[in-house]
Structure 1
Amino acid sequence: MRIVVDLNRCQAYAQCVFLAHEIFRLSGEEALTYEPNPDDARRLQVERAVAACPVQAIVMDRLDGAERGVSS
């Protein structure tokens, strides 16, 4: 799977960090860093983090190019 975060849209609410702390991290108070290609074993955590983003800054899809349909 692949994750893309629109860092211009991200407001550092950190809901993704709370739900998938192995994937998303805050550096300081506002700088989000993340693993762009997490292991599929983390899919449920990532899907929850995508859904929880209040500004819909996170998009997730499969690496084979097929749209996952989960974006937020």
Structure 2
Amino acid sequence: MRVEVDRDLCQGHGMCEMEAPDVFEAGRDTVTILNPTPDESRRAQVEAAVRYCPTQALKIVED
């Protein structure tokens, strides 16, 4: 899996970082993806981060 962020939608709320702090780091206005290809052991956390993003700026792309 690969995680992507739409920087036009992201507002840096930080919900993703709360769900998966080893994958996302919220900045002032946008998020940085620390690990764009997390392993399967992180799937539940990453899916929660995508689900709870208030602006729906995150998505998982299956490779």
- Fold match, TM over 0.5? yes
Amino acid at match of 2:25: R
TM norm structure 2: 0.89
Match of 2:12 in 1: 12
Amino acid at match of 1:13: H
Which deviates more, 31-40 or 16-25?
A: 31-40
Amino acid at match of 2:32: T
Amino acid at match of 1:47: E
Higher relative contact order (CA 8 A, sep 6+): 2
Gaps of 5+ in 1: 64-72
Q: Percent identity among equivalent residues?
A: 39
- Structure 1 residue ranges (4+ consecutive) displaced by more than 4 angstroms after TM superposition: none
**1:35-66, Cα deviation, whole Å (9 max, x unpaired):** 21111110000000000001100010211xxx
Cα RMSD of the aligned pairs, angstroms, is 1.1
TM norm structure 1: 0.79
Compute the displacement of 1:26 (Å): 2.4
User: Quick one: distance in 1 between partners of 2:16 and 2:62?
Assistant: 19
Gaps of 5+ in 2: none
Amino acid at match of 1:32: V
Match of 1:30 in 2: 29
User: Quick one: distance in 2 between partners of 1:26 and 1:14?
Assistant: 5
Amino acid at match of 1:55: T
